[in-house]
Amino acid sequence: MQNKNYDVIIIGVGPAGLSAAIYTGRARMSTLVFGIVENSHLYKAHTISNYFGFEKDISGPFIMEQGIKQAERFDTRIIPREITSIIINADGTFTITDCEKEVYAAKNLILCTGTSYAISGIKNEEKLIGKGISHCVTCDGFFFRDKKIAVIGHGNYAAEEAMSLLTYSKDVTILSHGKEFFFSDSMRNHLSDSPVILKKTPKIKEFWSDPTKVGSEKFEKILYEDGTVDEGYAGVFMAIGTAGAISFAQKLGLILNGNYIVVNDKGETNIPNIYAAGNCTGADPQAAISVGQGCAAAMAIIKKNRGVKVYVQYN
């Protein structure tokens, strides 16, 4: 049976996450990394000319492959799955659930989820945030208790948000936003045992509020691109794509600066034992910077674990 208790769990398999894993793994701290390599922005880079140590152009997939091999050399375990839930325990440790409903425990957590580019493109989304449109079930679910609620999305993230909303209402529908639903087998089984409704819809064009109602600008209807209208929902929760830094940060109570997690130069957040590195901190989106921030977070964890102010890896 695989170990499910780790010194460090890293969410994100890009340059920041892999750099951190190399350091903690080499320091003989049990390390687990979650993430799908193909989703990394670095993986999608065809040609890289400015990364230190390479005379000739290299590709993103090449760097990622080398980074994974290096991390695994130090006994890091890498699982190509999404994380759907993080819970802070009373003792300051973490319980983490993946999209297959497998549960893991960690003493330290590093968020390296990058930035989310899953823009909905739905008209009036930003305008109506806080007026019927929300991005955080933990923050706003309470305000829609016992009401009809919609979740916009088509994957595991949307399913997890819908399941969380069942705490507040038993009338929850996932709207696919013009996509085919795609859930892991475990998540699909979980959904089938719940009252959550799946509704395959055309692409959503607009969240509508009646401009003729003075002073009552709030979400009222969903308009689809084929001209059909969906009414009756008291609120809508956005869950397009996968759970990213902002979603985790809001649920965990991390301090944000706009859309980025606030960290110090060690990668520490405002919550003990939670660190962040890479693009999710608002750093310039350069692999070299992400690698450095991943190193800094890992070094902070290693020093704390060993009770030292200075730590050097000689071999």
How do the domains of the chain map onto residue ranges? Answer: 5-117+244-306, 133-238
Looking at residue 285, its pLDDT comes to: 78
Q: Can you give the pTM of this predicted structure? A: 0.74
Confidence class for position 216, pLDDT limits 50, 70, 90 = low
Looking at residue 296, its pLDDT comes to: 97
pLDDT digits (tens, 9 = 90+) for 155-167: 888 898 899 899 9
Give the domain 133-238 fold: FAD/NAD(P)-binding domain (3.50.50)
Apex 262 CA angle, 134 and 306, nearest 5:
125
pLDDT above 90 as % of the chain: 59
Confidence class for position 1, pLDDT limits 50, 70, 90 = very low
Q: How many angstroms separate the CA atoms of 172 and 148, rounded?
A: 6
Place of tokens 């399941």: 163
- Given a cut of 90, whether residue 73 has pLDDT beyond it is yes
Contacts (Cβ under 8 Å, ≥6 apart) of 213: none
E strand spans, the chain: 5-11, 31-34, 77-79, 83-88, 94-98, 103-111, 133-134, 149-152, 172-175, 197-199, 204-208, 221-224, 229-231, 235-238, 256-257, 260-261, 274-276
CATH of 5-117+244-306, one of 3.50.50.60, 3.20.20.60, 3.30.465.10, 3.40.50.2300: 3.50.50.60
HSE on the CB side for 283, CA within 13 Å?
25
Q: How many angstroms separate the CA atoms of 111 and 267, rounded?
A: 10
Q: What is the mean pLDDT of residues 213-240?
A: 87
Q: How many angstroms separate the CA atoms of 183 and 175, rounded?
A: 14
Q: What is the mean pLDDT of residues 264-273?
A: 96
- Given a cut of 80, whether residue 179 has pLDDT beyond it is yes
SS3 category, 185: helix
- Given a cut of 70, whether residue 273 has pLDDT beyond it is yes
Confidence class for position 117, pLDDT limits 50, 70, 90 = very low
